[in-house]
């Protein structure tokens, strides 16, 4: 139909890793044809869906687009397309500015909240190692769950106050999708709050006396490093594929009924 004629024109536009002139819009999809249209655009890398599984569904979808695509999509979706982030490049620049300010404050020996910015891989590792060493009130162990494809440590912090030599373990994972920097940050902050509340919160104390908590905040370190050095919006890991492309979506590679008793 008309959608796919316009699609053939749109796919002439190719853009790389520079996010100047990119924006994020929310598109409200109503029909199967619209779902197919946007999933074709996604497959052709003309758009990038920002959903949990990176697929278009009926209802609201946040989508990264180049400004040159706006007219085409407005023609298809009209008022069902609304602006969400007007300037993606500017947002990325702002993230970088905040981190530079954080590093500058460290050089000046100023007190700065570690959680006030996102951190590259090396800073995350250093923080986790220091954290495990600086909280003797609990049994905290820094360990390495394994190595990534590119040889980076996949860090894990084990926390408990249980007297059981093999307590039941509750896993908290972060950083599967490389570009979602808030995921490692939120996982580490959750760890911090758990430790911080041990002496003041009876419920947390009870949980820590019964369970071991395993925090693995960055299980896709290669992809995460790539977002800091090459492409801020890279999502997958960096596994080379037979097609010549790179990347496996880690959250689609858990075994069926993983962890089910």
Distances (CA, A) of 135 to 132, 141, 169: 6, 10, 20
Indicate if the pLDDT at residue 174 is higher than 90: yes
In DSSP terms, 23 is beta-bridged to 65
Indicate if the pLDDT at residue 16 is higher than 80: no
Say what the pLDDT of residue 9 is. Answer: 41
- Decide which of 109 and 8 is more confident: 109
Indicate if the pLDDT at residue 133 is higher than 70: yes
Say what the pLDDT of residue 138 is. Answer: 84
Q: What's the rounded Cα separation, in Å, for the pair 124 and 130?
A: 10
Alpha-helical runs (H) found in 84-242: 88-107, 121-133, 182-196, 202-210, 221-229
Two structure tokens written together for 146: 């394994």
Question: 44-55: per-residue pLDDT in tens?
Answer: 888 999 876 778
Indicate if the pLDDT at residue 224 is higher than 80: yes
| Average predicted confidence (pLDDT) for the chain | 87
Return the biggest CA–CA distance within the chain.
67
In this prediction, residues 144-164 reach a mean pLDDT of: 94
Say what the pLDDT of residue 10 is. Answer: 45
Indicate if the pLDDT at residue 256 is higher than 80: no
- Strand, coil or helix: 40: helix
Say what the pLDDT of residue 214 is. Answer: 95
Indicate if the pLDDT at residue 261 is higher than 80: no
Q: Which of 254, 249, 224, 225 is nearest to 236 (CA)?
A: 249
Distances (CA, A) of 250 to 5, 79, 135, 237: 34, 35, 32, 7
For residue 188, count other CB atoms closer than 10 A to its CB.
Answer: 25
Say what the pLDDT of residue 8 is. Answer: 46
Indicate if the pLDDT at residue 232 is higher than 50: yes
First to last CA, the chain: 49
Q: Which of 32, 25, 143 is nearest to 84 (CA)?
A: 25
Contact of 250 with 236, CB cutoff 8 Å: yes
């Amino acid at each position: 139909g008309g959608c796919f004629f316009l699609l053939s024109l749109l796919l002439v536009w190719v853009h790389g890793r520079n996010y100047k002139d990119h924006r994020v819009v929310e598109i409200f999809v109503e029909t199967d044809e619209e779902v197919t249209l946007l999933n074709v655009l996604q497959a052709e890398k003309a758009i990038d869906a920002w959903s949990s599984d990176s697929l278009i569904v009926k209802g609201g979808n946040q989508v990264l687009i180049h400004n040159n695509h706006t007219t085409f999509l407005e023609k298809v979706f009209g008022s069902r397309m609304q602006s969400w982030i007007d300037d993606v490049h500017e947002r990325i620049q702002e993230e970088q500015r905040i981190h530079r300010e954080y590093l500058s404050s460290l050089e000046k020996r100023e007190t700065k909240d570690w959680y006030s910015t996102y951190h590259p891989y090396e800073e995350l590792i250093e923080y986790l190692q220091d954290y495990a060493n600086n909280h003797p009130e609990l049994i905290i162990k820094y360990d390495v769950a394994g190595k990534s494809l590119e040889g980076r440590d996949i860090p894990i912090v084990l926390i408990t106050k249980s007297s059981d030599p093999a307590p039941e373990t509750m896993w908290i994972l972060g950083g599967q999708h490389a570009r979602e920097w808030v995921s490692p940050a939120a996982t580490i902050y959750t760890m911090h709050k758990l430790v911080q509340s041990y002496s003041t919160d009876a419920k947390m104390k009870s949980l820590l006396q019964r369970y071991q908590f395993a925090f693995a905040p960055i299980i896709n370190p290669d992809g995460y490093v790539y977002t800091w050095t090459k492409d801020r919006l890279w999502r997958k890991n960096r596994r080379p594929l037979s097609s010549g492309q790179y990347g496996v979506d880690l959250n689609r590679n858990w075994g069926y009924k993983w962890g089910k008793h």
